[in-house]
């Protein structure tokens, strides 16, 4: 069934919402990352947590852990993945028409990056992302959201053959126009920090096959609170700071004629490190809900135990991603891959359920990645029908 008109609503002060939302034909509001706006943690600049690497999207946006043959994934959520013992430099560009079911024109996401290793232990990367939302209109009015932009510098160091650490510093700019005569809005410009850890080990058998186990941990988007509303300190909102943990089990099998087969099973769990939304609770009677008044650090600490429903609701806040990936190296020059994944979010915390499919091909130093997102189950997602394409180049030094 073709979707009806989607209406974008940003900073809708009458609803007391400060994050970025689209309204679907069902009347519900969705975050730009596709989450249904039920009892979800309120965040701002959700663009920072949108995954746009096509290889990652193909396995349900898993990118805190990755196999060696997908090292371009390291541009994304875990800077420690940059340094894993392979001397190289990578370049990539990914493109996605986002929320493409909107009849007023899909916004465009561009994501480009470079990685250069120095020896086998040090690596540095630069990533630039641009979210073009100029095409959005509210009814017959002029577009009111221009663009979002971020630039990230990453550094990683491989402590040993098994362990690497990484850090990333990003600057972002989210620019909007004044959508109401009474609203005094301003662009949001600030910085955020990413921290990453990666562990990898393998066991080789007498027939030449190998078993791989990888573990990745990351905290992303650590930074101060921000606001689109000028001269309103009480309207400061939390960045999408998140704790992410993932694991990978891989099997590598050498075949005849320089061929080899790789099979990878991956899982990732993520939790926003922001306070639970508790509207109308104002213990100090100052007219501002208590959950909005914490500092960014206080919000992180409280995020582990402040859900109104107790520990059960805290577990509901964890999102789950599962992925399968198969690489076939046909010879020393040509490789192909197929991917699939699924994403689950508790119905009370956004209710997204979607599947992903992905394809990759690599010839010599060039690679092409494609991915597609589709709804599954009863979970709603504004991302249904989204596709992502990526081009890249890798040179082993």
CATH number at residue 340: 2.40.160.40
Any domain includes 318 = yes
pLDDT of 284: 75
pLDDT of 16: 36
- Whole-angstrom Cα distance, residue 347 to residue 353? 9
pLDDT of 159: 94
At residue 86, φ and ψ (nearest 5 deg) are -115, 115
- Whole-angstrom Cα distance, residue 197 to residue 207? 32
Any domain includes 190 = yes
Any domain includes 317 = yes
- Whole-angstrom Cα distance, residue 116 to residue 22? 38
pLDDT of 76: 74
DSSP secondary structure code for residue 349 in this structure: G
Q: Provide the 10 A C-beta neighbour count for residue 201.
A: 12
pLDDT of 46: 85
DSSP of 309-339, one letter per residue? TTHHHHHHT-EEEEEEEEEEE-SSSEEEEEE
- Whole-angstrom Cα distance, residue 339 to residue 149? 29
230 burial type by CB count under 10 A (0-12 exposed, 13-18 middle, 19+ buried): exposed
The pLDDT tens digits along the chain (397 residues) read: 333 323 333 333 223 333 444 545 444 445 555 555 556 777 888 889 888 889 999 999 998 998 877 655 556 789 999 988 777 888 999 998 877 665 555 678 889 999 998 888 999 999 999 988 765 544 434 445 578 899 999 999 999 999 999 999 999 998 865 445 445 677 889 999 999 999 999 999 998 999 999 999 999 999 999 988 766 666 788 999 999 999 999 999 999 888 999 999 999 999 999 988 776 677 777 767 777 788 889 889 988 888 877 888 889 899 999 999 999 999 989 999 999 999 998 888 878 889 999 999 999 999 999 999 998 876 557 788 889 999 999 888 7
pLDDT of 1: 38
How far is the CA of 82 from the CAs of 49, 67, 125, 170, in angstroms? 19, 12, 8, 16
Any domain includes 2 = no
Any domain includes 1 = no
Q: What share of the chain is helix, strand, coil (3-state, %, to 5)?
A: 10, 45, 40
List of E strands, 137-295: 145-158, 163-176, 188-204, 210-222, 242-254, 260-272
At 80 the three-state DSSP class reads: helix
List of E strands, the chain: 7-10, 20-23, 29-31, 88-97, 108-118, 122-132, 145-158, 163-176, 188-204, 210-222, 242-254, 260-272, 319-329, 334-344, 353-363, 366-375, 387-396
Any domain includes 343 = yes
Q: Domain total for the chain?
A: 1
- Whole-angstrom Cα distance, residue 393 to residue 364? 9
pLDDT of 332: 85
Say if residues 165 and 121 touch (Cβ distance below 8 Å): no
Any domain includes 144 = yes
State the alpha helices, DSSP H only, in 124-203: none
Q: Kindly report the pTM of this predicted structure.
A: 0.85
- Whole-angstrom Cα distance, residue 193 to residue 297? 13
Any domain includes 103 = yes
Interior CA angle at 169 toward 386 and 42, to 5°?
55
Structural domain for 275, as ranges: 7-396
């Amino acid at each position: 069934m073709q979707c009806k008109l989607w209406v974008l609503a940003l900073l809708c002060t009458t609803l007391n919402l400060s994050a970025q939302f689209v309204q679907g034909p069902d009347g519900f509001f969705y975050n730009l990352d596709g989450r249904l706006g039920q009892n979800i943690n309120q965040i701002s600049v959700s663009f920072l947590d949108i995954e746009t690497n096509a290889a990652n999207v193909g396995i349900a946006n898993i990118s805190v852990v990755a196999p060696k043959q997908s090292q371009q994934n390291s541009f994304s959520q875990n800077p420690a993945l940059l340094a894993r013992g392979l001397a190289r430099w990578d370049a990539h560009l990914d493109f996605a028409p986002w929320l493409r079911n909107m009849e007023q024109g899909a916004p465009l996401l561009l994501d480009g990056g470079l990685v250069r290793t120095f020896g086998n232990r040090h690596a540095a990367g630069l990533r630039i992302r641009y979210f073009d939302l100029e095409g959005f209109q509210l009814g017959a009015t002029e577009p009111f959201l221009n663009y979002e932009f971020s630039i990230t510098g990453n550094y990683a160091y491989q402590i040993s053959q098994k362990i690497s650490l990484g850090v990333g510093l990003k600057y972002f700019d989210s620019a909007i126009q004044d959508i109401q005569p009474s609203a005094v809005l301003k662009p949001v410009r600030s910085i955020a920090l990413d921290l990453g850890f990666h562990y990898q080990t393998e066991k080789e058998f007498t027939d030449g096959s190998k078993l791989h186990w990888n573990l990745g941990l990351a905290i992303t988007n650590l930074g101060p609170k921000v606001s689109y509303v000028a001269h309103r300190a009480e309207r400061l909102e939390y960045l999408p700071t998140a704790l992410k943990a993932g694991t990978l089990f891989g099997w590598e099998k050498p075949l005849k004629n320089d061929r080899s087969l790789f099979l990878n099973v991956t899982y990732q769990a993520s939790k926003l490190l922001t306070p639970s939304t508790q509207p109308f609770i104002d213990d100090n009677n100052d007219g501002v809900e208590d959950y909005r008044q914490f500092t960014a650090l206080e919000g992180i600490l409280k995020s582990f135990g402040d859900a109104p429903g107790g520990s059960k609701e805290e577990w509901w806040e964890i999102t789950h991603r599962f992925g399968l990936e198969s690489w076939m190296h046909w010879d020393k020059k040509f490789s192909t891959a197929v991917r699939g994944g699924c994403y689950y979010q508790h119905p009370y915390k956004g209710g997204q359920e979607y599947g992903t499919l992905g394809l990759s091909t690599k010839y010599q130093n060039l690679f092409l990645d494609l991915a597609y997102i589709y709804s599954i189950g009863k979970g709603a997602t504004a991302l249904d029908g989204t596709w992502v394409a990526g081009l890249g180049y890798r040179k082993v030094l």
